[in-house]
Structure formats: C-alpha cells, structure tokens
Chain A
Amino acid sequence: MTAIIVGMAIVTMVPRFLPAFVVDKWVYPKWVSRWLNAIPYAALGALIFPWITGVIEGKPYIGVLGGLVATILAFLKINTIIVVLGAIITVFLFNTVI
C-alpha cells in the first residue's frame, strides 16, 4: 500500500509543479495568454458535465435538477454555501421522497 501511495503522489505532484518552472523560461504571445485565461472556465465546464448526472446512480435527472437549483441560486447572487446546501437538499429530497 505504501508503494501505491508513493507512486500516486509522484505522478500527481510532477504535472502540478512542472509549469512553475516552464512559465519562467518561456515568453509567449498574447493569444497564448488568452488561451490560458480561458482554461478555468473550460475546466469548470468539463468538471461539471456529464459527471453531475452520475450523482445518484441510475437517476441522472436528479443530479441535473440539483445543478439547476445551484445555477438559479448562483444567478440570484446567493452565497456559495447556501448554493451548495440548496443543491444537497434538492438531491436528498428527490432521492428519498420521490
């Protein structure tokens, strides 16, 4: 088990810190900067969908409903913690009651 943990730690750490060195030694054009600045939004999209449909196995619509509630609450500028709570409650209710 120790070997697995060490192996996992190494392959996780290297891709994380490598860019810290590369960025220093490479001056790139403005369009690359715009590309890199769009990465967070693209990453968030790819982290949300389609995985959100798998929150409750076999009931993909429940995850989507939780996501919709979160989207509406966030659009109303409600605090993040309440957005998260609202989504949890939605999923819990739909999964247990219905």
Chain B
Amino acid sequence: MQPNTVQQLNQTNSAMNFVQRGAFAALPIVFGYLPIGITYGVLAKQSGLSLIEITMMSVFVFAGAAQFVAVSMINAGALFVEIVLATFVLNLRHFVMSFSIMNRLRSVSLKWKIPISLGLTDETFSVASLYPKEGQKKGGMWFYASMILVSYFAWILGSFAGGLLGEVIPEALSQSMGIALYAMFIALLIPSVRSEWRIGLIAVLSMMLNYIAYAITGNQGWSIVLATILAGASGIWLLPQEEVEE
C-alpha cells in the first residue's frame, strides 16, 4: 500500500510539473492569439456572424488563417464549397507539420497522438517542435497537452472577446498587433539558428521558395505547403546527422 501511494504521488507530481511547464511555454502563443483572436472576432462580427457562430468556429476549426479567410469569403458571398475548399488547401500544411511531429512521437500511444495532432496549429506545432526532448520523457505528453490546451482556450477567449467588443479597439492598435504572430515565429526560429547556422539557411531558402511559389500559384495554402516540403528536403543534406535519440 505504502510504496504504491508514494509512486502515485511521484507520478502526479511530475505530471503537474509538465503541465506547469507546458502552460509556461504557451505564454508567447497566448500573447499572440489574444489580439489576433480579437481581430478575427471583430471582422467576423462585421461580416454578420453571431457571437455564438464566431466562438463555435474557433472551438471546432481552431485555425486562425483559415478562419480569417472564411470570414472574408462569407462577407463576399462565397459558396459553401468554395469556403470549405479554401480551408482545406490553406490547412494542408498541417498535414506536413503533423507528419513531422508524429515522427518524433513514434513511441507514444495513439490515445495521446490523436488529441495532440488535432491541436496542431502553426504556433503549437512550432513550440512543440522546438521542445523535442519533452516528447521522449516519461509523462512528457502532459507538457504538449497543457501547452495546446492553454493556446486553444486563449484562441477561443480572444475570438469571443472580439465578437463581444466589436469596434471598440482602435484600428491602429489592432493592425499593429498583426505583427505579433510573425514576431513569435521569429523568436522561435532564432535560437535554433544561433546554435546551427544551416537551420537559418533552410528557413531563408523556404522564404524564397514561398515567395516564388506564391507568385506562380497565387494561393497562400499551396505556396506554404510547397515551400515547406521543398526547403525541408534541403535538410536531408544540410542537417547534421542527428544525435541518437533513443
């Protein structure tokens, strides 16, 4: 009885520890999601969506860029099929990202993999990728789960607040907040570039490919998918043999 209880206590402690660290790692995402969520909510409100519809779209779709596009398409009177197709193409990048993360989480059971994959966005993916060691630790899944859930609630809360506030926020401020997510992506990328300059090369190559692909296809979704896959392939040669992770 005694050792059993102690063991259980230890497990709970380390899970709690992972949950706290995950929530802390999510803070920059929260910081980006709240203003962007509010902006989405304001735009959606102006496009005629009700507060419930605005919030439910965030609950069930949880994909910022796609929600922005959908709202502007609804505003322009687009058809159901057009909106769903645009969402599909725009979110196809998460298929590539999910592949990358699931490769790291091979040893983890499906029970964890499925909810984590459903919570993948550009931001949660980036943070999860840059904490790869958590995935190998026992109970490390609590880190991912907590990081994703905190981000998810920030997104929902931001959207709800935006729908509620309507046009209260000055435009100059909400516009300036549009830089928040890019700044976060940069902040996530730079530490890796500092320790391995070839990573910077991969990212810059991807930017250029993306620029070209967008000029050719005129579609944000396809160009991101193409650039990510092609520039990622340069990693086959550029990335140093990775340390044994067993």
Contacts and interface: CB of A to CB of B under 8 A. Distances in A.
A19 B122 contact: no
A9 B235 contact: no
Contact of A41 (B57, B96, B202): B202
Contacts of B67: 8
Given A50-B211, A88-B180, A5 B126 contact: no
Nearest to B213: A46
A55 B53 contact: no
Interface stretch (B4-12, B13-21, B161-169, B221-229): B221-229
Contacts of A6: 60
Most chain A beta-carbon neighbours within 10 Å: one of B100, B204, B205, B230: B100
Contacts of B56: 5
Contacts of A17: 98, 114, 117-118
A1 B227 CA distance: 33
Contacts of A42: 202-203, 205-206, 227-232, 234-235
A86 B28 CA distance: 13
Contacts of A75: 190, 194
B185 A44 contact: yes
B61 A5 contact: yes
The number of chain A residues touching the other chain, given as a range, is: 35 or more
Contacts of B229: 39, 42
B233 to A, nearest CB: 6
Given A23-B99, A46-B228, A48-B186, A8 B83 contact: yes
Interface string A1-26: 10111111101110111111111100
A36 B223 contact: no
Interface string B43-83: 00000010001001100111100110010001000001001
A40 B205 CA distance: 13
Contacts of B143: none
Determine which residue in B28, B85, B184, B204 has the highest number of CB atoms from chain A within 10 A of its CB, and name it.
B184
Contacts of B66: 8, 12
